[in-house]
Structure 1
């Protein structure tokens, strides 16, 4: 067992959330005050403003349509893992245009997961940091209004620090304290890369420093205050831009005609709603979400034809992982996904061919791979 894995197991047993660098131990790169932060989700308690800001800091400065996809896709972690695996297949990665659209339409994934396919680096990051993805998704389900408020709070901080402004890659507007970030008029989507430790100005919560999964020496240099952009991807992409933030209502509105292209006949009424069927049996850790969604999830499995003795809903043929809690859950989700793929390959004709990332750009990423 690697030292990092051992630290993860210890953190799970102690009921703590540890900020872990993707390249080295957290205690080697982060101040001691941010090595461990208490998690409130297991007891069903509300996450605080400090915890929410810490959680959304890596993505709060993404443009609105892309942030909608990330927030809603994070509620379906197994589908994120599956999409990342398909995108990694070189045969699928070559698909573009109509071929990509056709292959994507055949996948029974949530619209937000499909919309992230042209951004393979985002899927890679969400998969590599499944624990963060899981926490983000559960927080969004349990405290959607608070998560959206945290995004606005951080955007205003970045504006006040002089870091968030309009550029050829994005259009930033502030209307009465509501900060919106839109793709440029050129209809090219750019994914920002930035240092959450630096772009928001002095971070006000020492114990809840922003999540950042690469080494940090404890200070910011001039280059770290820059929001960088990679090569853009042209749109409209067929499965892109299906919703919009209703910031004052704390909701995600639906573009009905576009959303119906994802799943005809399954369009939500008015605003985005979590679809338990796309959770695919992955258990919730936050007890508030267990109480709100678990019965509906069981009903969805029964509706899809998983019926046991005397009409009792039976377990899905797509087995849920034994646990999906703080650390160690990511591996369980990946193993579940791999078991499903192996089963398909054992059937006549093998596994179905799907799709991959297109667009020809690097697509940016959540966390920088190293310091300048």
Structure 2
């Protein structure tokens, strides 16, 4: 017995040793498997052909204006509201227009676009295009920025993009530290207003401005410019410039071509947006999902990144519209209810049940407060409905006489025949008297009724 036990223990130890030796070479592989994963690459939602098609109408905008358009396009619902507002205020433009919409709930990038009504008039012609443009910028910012540069190089090669009295066009070499650019492009084209305080929005026909379009099956999107802002402009080729817009602080964003994002001028932003101040560390644009207005995100990465941002209690309250102004209004309403003796409404199911129990257990004299009897009345109504339902379910019962009273039926006078005979004779006499006058009238006889007092004898009269 001992020998077999020793053999079993030895065999177990040998197997354990072999298993350890077998697992030793795999230890580095397991460690690598548990290492943190790298950030997955961004999903390619749109192809280069689709990006060029949707970027063509705005790729030649000045860099600060293009940055505002790209930021605002991620909020397509608010852009539609800004377009409606701009149509209702056709004379509003520049910094003054932005100040007029300071109380709107729009994102500051959308508010900045009301300074350029001609831009909103163009964006208002294609809401689907605007949403696709914003989705592309959220999902593929690098591809979007590269697409703009690709189109600018095409316009410059076609001779339709150069400096003039409205804008300055400069070509800058890409720095060595910048992300790898396409092999066909080693420089960056920057477009800036000739006067920093006056911005001219170019209008052009994308089908001719970029030369021969590389994708004949997918021509560029073209929205004719509003004639009110570009009178007499024949967009055969090249760029047309309408009336300039005087601005000081309306454009606070700029394109960072090296990092493929948007820089924010904090000072200009705070000078214009008094209600939403930022600090110097917030000099890079970040999408705010609070202003998405329920518009779904196109790609899964954007849905995961921006669809679950409302984790804190304060953000949830803001998402529900629970701000300080509404909190004060609720408190004022509750104070008014207390002054008038009105019971405050329950804020939870538990509190409502507690109010019902208190109302049912309190004396009748203490339930004179307005609204205190409502739970009791509701309970009584429920009880009446339940009794009515039970009555419908049970078979009908015959009425029973109360103790000590005779039953009202055909055998009621069986125990008192004399009284029954008297009642029968009275009934017969009453019936005969009722029929006698009618019979006399029918025979034509005069009916005489006895009087209570004897008639006096008068001369010439009948006795």
TM-score (structure 2 length as normaliser): 0.51
Identify the match of residue 318 of structure 2 among 294, 299, 304. Answer: 304
Could you tell me which runs of 5 or more consecutive residues in structure 2 were left unpaired when the two chains were aligned: 1-42, 174-186, 225-233, 323-463
How far 1:52 moved relative to its partner? 1.0
How far 1:257 moved relative to its partner? 1.4
Identify the match of residue 151 of structure 2 among 124, 129, 154. Answer: 154
Deviations 1:77-128 (A, max 9, x none): 1111111122222xx4455678645422222221221111122222122222
Identify the match of residue 195 of structure 1 among 200, 205, 210. Answer: 205
Is this contact kept in 2: 1:281–1:297, CA < 8 A? no
Corresponding residue for 1:252? 262
Alpha-carbon distance between aligned partners in 2 of 1:162 and 1:152, rounded to the nearest angstrom:
15
Q: Secondary structure at the match of 2:163?
A: coil
Corresponding residue for 2:215? 205
In the alignment of these two chains, the number of paired residues is 255
Find the structure with the greater CA-based Rg.
2
1:72 maps to 2:71? yes
Is this contact kept in 2: 1:87–1:117, CA < 8 A? yes
How far 1:213 moved relative to its partner? 4.2
Corresponding residue for 1:278? 291
Q: Secondary structure at the match of 2:236?
A: helix
Alpha-carbon distance between aligned partners in 2 of 1:203 and 1:305, rounded to the nearest angstrom:
44
Corresponding residue for 2:363? none
1:55 maps to 2:54? yes
Instruction: Indicate the larger mover: 294-303 or 105-114.
Output: 294-303
How far 1:289 moved relative to its partner? 1.9
Corresponding residue for 1:225? 237
Corresponding residue for 2:172? 175
Is this contact kept in 1: 2:168–2:191, CA < 8 A? yes
Alpha-carbon distance between aligned partners in 2 of 1:284 and 1:140, rounded to the nearest angstrom:
12
Corresponding residue for 1:365? none
Alpha-carbon distance between aligned partners in 1 of 2:242 and 2:106, rounded to the nearest angstrom:
27
Is this contact kept in 1: 2:98–2:112, CA < 8 A? no
Is this contact kept in 2: 1:163–1:226, CA < 8 A? yes
Distance 1:113 1:47, change over 3 A: same
Alpha-carbon distance between aligned partners in 2 of 1:147 and 1:104, rounded to the nearest angstrom:
29
TM-score (structure 1 length as normaliser): 0.63
Alpha-carbon distance between aligned partners in 1 of 2:277 and 2:290, rounded to the nearest angstrom:
15
How far 1:75 moved relative to its partner? 0.5
Alpha-carbon distance between aligned partners in 2 of 1:246 and 1:136, rounded to the nearest angstrom:
18
Q: Secondary structure at the match of 1:252?
A: strand
- Of structures 1 and 2, the one with the larger relative CO (CA 8 A, separation 6+) is 1
How far 1:231 moved relative to its partner? 1.1
Q: Secondary structure at the match of 1:269?
A: coil
Q: Secondary structure at the match of 2:189?
A: strand
Instruction: Please provide the CA RMSD for this pair.
Output: 2.7
Could you tell me which runs of 5 or more consecutive residues in structure 1 were left unpaired when the two chains were aligned: 1-43, 215-221, 309-372
Distance 1:78 1:171, change over 3 A: same
- Which residues in structure 2 correspond to 1:28-107 (within 5 Å)? 45-89=44-88, 92-95=89-92, 100-107=97-104
Deviations 1:53-85 (A, max 9, x none): 111011100101111111111101111111112
Following TM superposition, the consecutive aligned residue runs of length 4 or more in structure 1 with deviations greater than 6 angstroms are none
How far 1:294 moved relative to its partner? 1.2
Is this contact kept in 2: 1:191–1:232, CA < 8 A? yes
Alpha-carbon distance between aligned partners in 2 of 1:68 and 1:121, rounded to the nearest angstrom:
16
Q: Secondary structure at the match of 2:209?
A: coil
Is this contact kept in 1: 2:64–2:192, CA < 8 A? yes
1:112 maps to 2:125? no
How far 1:303 moved relative to its partner? 3.9
Distance 1:168 1:86, change over 3 A: same
Corresponding residue for 2:430? none
Is this contact kept in 2: 1:77–1:279, CA < 8 A? yes
Deviations 1:194-243 (A, max 9, x none): 111111111112233211246xxxxxxx962221111111122x4x1212
Distance 1:98 1:225, change over 3 A: closer
